[in-house]
Structure 1
C-alpha cells in the first residue's frame, strides 16, 4: 500500500491510471481479475514477489498475461528471497526493483537506504542514474568504468533521466560489501533459516484459540495472522511486554482489522520466538 501511494504521487502529474487487483482467498493476485484489468493500453503490470502479505505469487502466469497485452512486467522483489526463489529474469520480468535495506543496512529509523533497479538489455539505455561496466585494461587487469554516458545530463542536458543525484551510493557500497561477504550460498542459507523460523512461529500460533492464517497461499518469512482481538489492541498488549508483534493491517485494509503482518528473519533467535509466544499467553 505504501509503495502504491508513492507511485500515485509520482504519477498524478502525468495522469497515469493506477489499478489495484485484489487478491484471491489464497492471498495471491486473482488471475481472472487481473486479466480483466489488463488491456492494450496497460503500460506495465507490477508484481511483488513475495507480495505485501508475504504470500508467494505465481509470477510466470502474471508475466505471460502482461506480455500478451503488450505490457511490461515489473517485479518488485526482496533481494534476500532471491537466494532461494526463481530470479525475475527467468519468468520474463522486464524490470526488477526492490529495497536494498535487507542487504546489511541498519533500519536507522527509516533511512538512509538504497533501492535497486535492473532491466533487460533492450531497456538499458532508458535506465536512470549512472551505469558501471566491467572491462579489462591493456595489461588484462579487471577494471570498472562509467558506461552509456550519452544518457546522462552532461550530454543530454534537460533530456537526461538522471538529473537528481544523492549520497546513497554509500549505502550501495555497504550492500555490495554485504553481498560479497555472503555470497550465493550464504544468501540461500539466510533465506532458508528465515523461512524455517517463520513457519515454526506460524505453526505455534495457529494451535492457539482464535489465531488463524489469513491466507492459505505459500509464504516465506512474512505471514498474516488473524488474532482473537483487534490487532491494534494485540500490538499494544505486546509492546507493554517489550515485544514488537507485527504490523496491524486495519489501517491499510479495514477487513483485516484483527490481523497482524508478522515477519521473522534470521535475527529472530529461537529464544526470541519463545519469548514472543510467552508474551502472547
Structure 2
C-alpha cells in the first residue's frame, strides 16, 4: 500500500477515524479472487518536477497526426479545427451548471444545446435531434434499442459494412442476443442485407460511407425495410460527408446516428468523442437522452429549458428508455461553434475539399503496381488491396514517418479475407506531397516484401 501514510501510527489513526480494524478491512467487499497477489512494478514516488519531466519524455515518443503524412481514418479523422473553437469553449458564458436541470442558471448551456440540436437535425435531414450521446458506437446501440421499442420486434440486422467496433458495441449492449444478425464484412460492396429482412425485423443498420468507404443505397434499403414494417438506422462515422451527400432523412432513414468528432474535435488519442442522434418527430418519445426546447418566461422573454428528459432515466432505471444520464456537452459545444463558423456554404466547401483530395489519392494509388482499389464510389475514404499482408507494410511505413491508414486485420483479427486490405482516408489537410510520398513508400515496401 505505497500511498498510505508512512508511519504505523498515522495509519492506525486514519483507520480508527473511519472505523476499520485494519487495511485489509477496507477491501472486505472485494472477492479474494479479484485482489492483486503481486506487487506492481512501479517506481517510487518522485518530486513533481521529475514526474513532469518523465511524462514529457513519454509524450515525445509519440508520433502525432501533424508530424507527417497521415491517412488514418476508420471512424476518427484529422481535420482542421480553428483556434477560435478552443478560445470560445473556454468563455465564462458556458461555465454554467454541468447538468442543466435549473434553467434559470443554465441559459448559456441550454441555448447552445438547442442550437446544436438544430444543426444536427439540419445536416441529417431529420425532424428532431437530441442533445448528444457519448459517441457514435454507443449511439448506434441506443438506436437499435430504440427501434426494438418502437416496433416491438427483436430482430436486428447489422450490415457487413458497419464499423467492426460499432458492431461489437451493439453486441455488448444486446448481450449476444440470438436475434442479432451480424453480416460478414463486405469490403467489396453492398452485401446482401436486404435478403435478411422479414416480419420479425425491428431494424436494419447501414453505415454510409461504410467502414470500407463505399456509399450505400439508402433509398432502396429504406423502401425494403418499410415494406416489412421495419426501420432503417443509418450510421455515419465521417460527419463531414453530410456536407456533400444527400441527407439520410431525405432518403427514408428513420434514425440517424453519427460520430461528430470531425467537427470541432481534434484527434485526442481516442476521445472524448461525440454521438449525434436524430429521428422523426413521431419517434421522439422513444429517443434516448435529453432534448432542449425554446420557450418564453413570465415576462415574455425568449428562454430555453429541458423539454424532454425522462425522470426514469435517473431514479427508476429499469423503466427508462435509456440509462444515459448525461451528454458529451463540451464536445457538443465545440461541434456547434465550429459548425456555426463554417455555415452551410462552408460545410459544403469543406466536404468538397475532402472528396477532391480523396480523388487525388485514388488516382495516385492506381499508378502503384500491385495495388487494387476496391471502391467504385467513395467520399474521403477508400480500401485498397495489396499483393502482400497489409499490417507489416503499414508498420514499415510508420517507422518512416508515414501513417498509411488502418490495416483491416487490426479490427477484424483472424479473418484471412481482409489480411491484405488497408482503409485510407484523405481530408482537407492532405497535401499533394503527402499523397506522392505515400505512393512512393507503398511501392518500395511492396517490392521489399515480395523480395
TM above 0.5 = yes
Distance 1:156 1:147 in 2: 19
Distance 1:35 1:154 in 2: 38
State whether structure 2 residue 419 is matched by structure 1 residue 257: yes
Q: Partner of 1:186 in structure 2?
A: 346
Alpha-carbon RMSD across the aligned residues, in angstroms, is 2.2
Q: CA deviation at 1:92?
A: 1.0
- 1:136–1:142: 8 Å Cα contact kept in structure 2? yes
- 1:230–1:258: 8 Å Cα contact kept in structure 2? yes
Distance 1:265 1:187 in 2: 13
Distance 2:307 2:327 in 1: 20
- 2:364–2:436: 8 Å Cα contact kept in structure 1? no
| Aligned residue runs from structure 1 range 33-44, under 5 A | 33-44=192-203
State whether structure 2 residue 290 is matched by structure 1 residue 106: no
Listed one character per residue, the Cα deviations across residues 203-247 of structure 1 (whole Å, up to 9, x for unaligned) are: 1111121011123x2111111111232101211221121000011
Q: Partner of 1:28 in structure 2?
A: 189
Give the number of the structure with larger relative contact order, counting CA–CA contacts within 8 Å between residues 6 or more apart: 2
Q: Partner of 2:182 in structure 1?
A: 19
- 1:125–1:151: 8 Å Cα contact kept in structure 2? no
Q: CA deviation at 1:69?
A: 0.9
SS at match of 1:43: strand
State whether structure 2 residue 308 is matched by structure 1 residue 148: yes
Q: CA deviation at 1:178?
A: 1.3
- 1:21–1:37: 8 Å Cα contact kept in structure 2? no
Distance 1:137 1:249 in 2: 54
Q: CA deviation at 1:167?
A: 6.0
State whether structure 2 residue 170 is matched by structure 1 residue 7: yes
Cα separation, partners in 2 of 1:134 and 1:259, compared to 1, 3 Å: same
Distance 2:368 2:198 in 1: 45
Distance 1:13 1:227 in 2: 34
Q: Partner of 1:174 in structure 2?
A: 334
Listed one character per residue, the Cα deviations across residues 111-145 of structure 1 (whole Å, up to 9, x for unaligned) are: 11111111111110111111001234566654322
Listed one character per residue, the Cα deviations across residues 93-123 of structure 1 (whole Å, up to 9, x for unaligned) are: 1100011111121221111111111111111
Structure 1: give runs of 5+ residues left out of the alignment.
Answer: none
SS at match of 2:271: coil
Corresponding pairs, count: 276
Q: Partner of 1:277 in structure 2?
A: 439
- 2:389–2:420: 8 Å Cα contact kept in structure 1? yes
SS at match of 1:145: strand
TM-score where L is the length of structure 2: 0.57
- 2:274–2:328: 8 Å Cα contact kept in structure 1? yes
| Aligned residue runs from structure 1 range 65-84, under 5 A | 65-77=224-236, 78-84=238-244
Q: Partner of 1:60 in structure 2?
A: 219
Distance 2:358 2:213 in 1: 11
Q: CA deviation at 1:162?
A: 4.4
Q: CA deviation at 1:47?
A: 0.8
SS at match of 2:387: coil
Q: Partner of 1:235 in structure 2?
A: 394
Q: CA deviation at 1:258?
A: 1.3
Distance 1:136 1:87 in 2: 32
Listed one character per residue, the Cα deviations across residues 149-198 of structure 1 (whole Å, up to 9, x for unaligned) are: 45654686642234333462111111111111111111111111111111
SS at match of 1:250: helix
- 2:383–2:422: 8 Å Cα contact kept in structure 1? yes
Between 1:78-87 and 1:164-173, the stretch displaced more is 164-173
Cα separation, partners in 2 of 1:135 and 1:196, compared to 1, 3 Å: same
